[in-house]
Structure 1
Amino acid sequence: MTTRRHLLAGTAAAIAAGGLLTRPARAHAVPDLDMQLWMEEQEDFLINKQVASGALRGPYDHNLQPYFSNWAAQGLAAANTVRSREALGNYISWYLDHLNTAAEDPYGIAGTVSDWHYDAATGEETSTGEYSSTDAGTTVPMITAFDAHRTGDVALQQLVMDNLAKYELMAKATCETTWGVRNSDGLCWARPDSKMKYVQDNAVVYRGLFCLAWLEKQAGRMTQYDYYTAKAEQTRKAIIDILWHEDRQNWSWGRGVNLLKESDPKAAFMPDAWCQYWQVQLRILPAINRRSVASWSAFSAANPRWMHLEFDNSFPHTEMAYSAVQMGELDNAATMLATCRERFAGNGWALPWYHGEAGHSMRVARRLIDAGWGQ
């Protein structure tokens, strides 16, 4: 599972299907926060994290961790300015230039990207030869490519389309049972040596393959579109059939070789509560679906003041605000960003704020701006 725990270990523009829920009436004071200013400030933060090669530093300034950097890059797409699009293109180029061969990958899987170490004094980048996950790690860049294409920038669109073969190479890890981490049940192991199928990782796999299918369709490659659409749907169906717990009315956080890992959101934030909203954020199901409503309710009941960062984890997890937007809770999403400003702006946006959080938060701000929040 790709979680913030890996950070400390050092290894680590369409509306949602079903539409945005009706905005609830404001029952409490809403934050006075300029979302456009937020976008500009976080864009500055990310630009300052980019090094000459195009890589994005984070979570620590000596880390180049592509999984988290892709979430950051999606924030650059959400900003959609001349400067952010240039930075996004530079990052995508860096990523595509660093794909492992089968010989370079620790598990013999081509198309992965390792975490790298960055030396600020020399600018040298050194591969660690490791990464936190194969499944989510190879599919989150497809979401980045999708977002890049959706900016409408011709150069970004060309960059993505010229490299579809590389994205297809990445997809082999999660599409072929004999080559990567996909199981016959439709779910993926996090890594070949980690016999756990996490609900969060598999949600990323679904969304990544969905995005790759969309890109193939834009290129007129309908055979490939059909293939990746089928793989995405296989993943989505397996997530629902295997990891949805009907009795508990929530998502089990994973499945091992023989054992289902059931969730108790009130017992622990990570992974029990944390895993409940990724299916909302990544659009496994429409926001109005009963499972989306039930799992978001389970998360919210366990963490009723999440928007004030009152939960048992040191990282702000701004992706939960994006889930809130999906569920129609625009004021709560805005409150979370306002709380982050109060908490982190005074220390120069230092850890636990990092580039991945900035990226998620910019996606939130873009949705709020587009929804006319605060106007």
Structure 2
Amino acid sequence: MSYSNMSEIIRALKNNMASQVAWLKSCQILSPGSSADGAIGRYPDQGWVMPYFANFAAMALLEDVNAHLLVERYLNWYLANLEDDGTIKDYHYDENLNAKKASPDSEDAYAGSYLSLVAAYHERTRKTNWVRKNLPALKKVANCIVNLTDRDGLTFALAKYRVKYLMDNCEVYRGLADFAGLLDYLGDQEASVFNARAKAVATGIEKSLWDARRTCYYPSKTSWWLRPGVNLKKFYPDATCQLFPALYGLIEPGSERAANLYELFNSNHPEWLTIKPPDYPWAILGYCASLHGDYKRAYEKLRYVREEYIATKSGNWFCAEAAFFVLTCARLLQRSGEWLFAGS
């Protein structure tokens, strides 16, 4: 598609975004009165629910004002299924909506991404009554992060898996900061507590995971002192994690550090634009590109994903990938004046 045909590009973005929003809606279980009501599965007509992925799906659904009530149903489902410690399991619903629980992939990132979703939901809807009504449960989610925090300010992925990942901690930072901002809006005295927790995570990332000598981040910390070496030729997590501090606001995408990390990622993995099935498409990278003002690559990622995954109905196209496809479309549409008219 020619970049000079701006109206065609905008129309394609809107159509593709609407198509994937509709697809995400089809992933949600809508069964009033059922304990599964509001859950968002990985795929349509399947009962596998991974709340971490579902959080991103719901975030993307906020781009459609007509889907805000669907997001609220998901938010309610999440809170209704909390464990006593504020964590949440993965769920599998059979055809009769009977549920089986499974261990989550993480506990810290699930909670952090959910808190960011709650803050975004309130920002879009201003349904303060919903937040006030559910505040005790929301604080329970936030406190599960506190309970996973080590002395260095970083969180363990799971209480029983004591590894501190850069990616998870970026999501935790964002979730705590967003939740603190929401509490401040409500005039809640605990806003300062969770804001301090967010700052502690940011400090922990800078002190423990930033390698000043190599000017990149360690992907994890496995004990009080041990940090596995960084191999930037290793796509995941070593290279991809370098983009997460800018993605989640720990550093500004326009800063020198963020720009250098983005260039470092591109120089080591230029093939990210054309990842093919059966691999996951990594649509989140297109969104990262858009944050860095690299709108051309962001658009090319969307176009390639549309052709190779969506059109072919690849099995690796699931709710979180569709979510970042939608969010990238939305950002490109919002910033169209910056890239289309500049011809970039």
User: TM-score surpassing 0.5?
Assistant: yes
Indicate conservation of the 8 Å contact 1:251/1:295, yes or no. no
1:92 maps onto 2:57 in alignment: no
**Counterpart residue identity of residue 187, structure 1:** L
Question: As a proportion of its length, which structure holds more helix?
Answer: 2
- Among 180, 192, 200, the residue aligned to 1:234: 200
Out of 25, 28, 32, the residue aligned to residue 47 of structure 1 is 25
How many angstroms apart in 2 are the aligned matches of 1:50 and 1:188? 30
2:144 counterpart letter in structure 1: A
Matched, 1:183 2:150: yes
Provide the residue aligned with 1:359 in structure 2.
Answer: 323
Match of 2:87 among 97, 102, 112: 112
Q: Which runs of structure 2 are paired with 1:3-42 in the superposition (5 Å)? A: 32=9, 34-42=12-20
Kept in 1: contact 2:310–2:317 (CA 8 A) = no
When residues 270 and 75 of structure 1 are mapped into structure 2, their CA distance, relative to the original with a 3 A threshold, is same
Which amino acid in structure 2 is aligned with residue 315 of structure 1? Y
Whether 1:56 aligns to 2:9 is no
Quickly say closer, same or farther: Cα 1:301–1:294, change in 2 above 3 A. Answer: same
Q: Distance in 1 between matches of 2:74 and 2:186?
A: 22
- Structure 2 counterparts to residues 205-284 of structure 1, below 5 A: 205-221=172-188, 223-257=189-223, 258-266=225-233, 268-284=234-250
Name the counterpart of 1:127. Answer: 101
Question: 1:59 Cα shift?
Answer: 5.5
- TM-fit CA distance, 1:144: 0.7
Percent identity of paired positions between Structure 1 and Structure 2: 24
Retained in 1: the 8 A contact 2:154–2:201?
A: yes
For the structure 1 residues 27 and 49, does the alpha-carbon distance in structure 2 shift closer, same or farther, using more than 3 Å as the test?
closer
Any conservation in 2 of the 1:62–1:118 contact (CA below 8 Å)?
A: yes
1:68 corresponds to 2:53? yes
In structure 1, stretches of 5+ residues that fail to align are 1-25, 102-109
Q: Deviations over 1:143-200 (max 9, x none)?
A: 111111121x244x4323321221211111222xxxx210111111111221211000
Report the Cα offset of residue 28 of structure 1: 11
- 1:338 aligns with 303
SS in 2 for 1:336: helix
Q: Counterparts of 1:147 and 1:339 in 2: how far apart (Å)?
A: 29
Compute the displacement of 1:29 (Å).
10
Q: In structure 2, what is the Cα distance between the partners aligned to 1:148 and 1:328?
A: 25
What is the CA deviation profile of residues 332-352 of structure 1, one whole-angstrom value per residue up to 9, with x for unaligned ones? Answer: 11111111100122233x421
CA contact (8 A) 2:50 2:90 kept: yes
Looking at structure 1, the residues matched to 280 and 329 of structure 2 have their Cα atoms a distance apart, in angstroms, of: 19
Could you say if the C-alpha distance between residues 29 and 304 of structure 1 is closer, same or farther in structure 2, counting changes exceeding 3 Å? farther
Cα distance change of structure 1 residues 161 and 319 upon mapping to structure 2, 3 Å threshold = farther
Give me the whole-angstrom Cα distance separating, in 1, the residues matched to 2:43 and 2:228. Answer: 28
**Count of aligned pairs between the two proteins:** 328
Q: 2:34 maps to what in 1? A: none
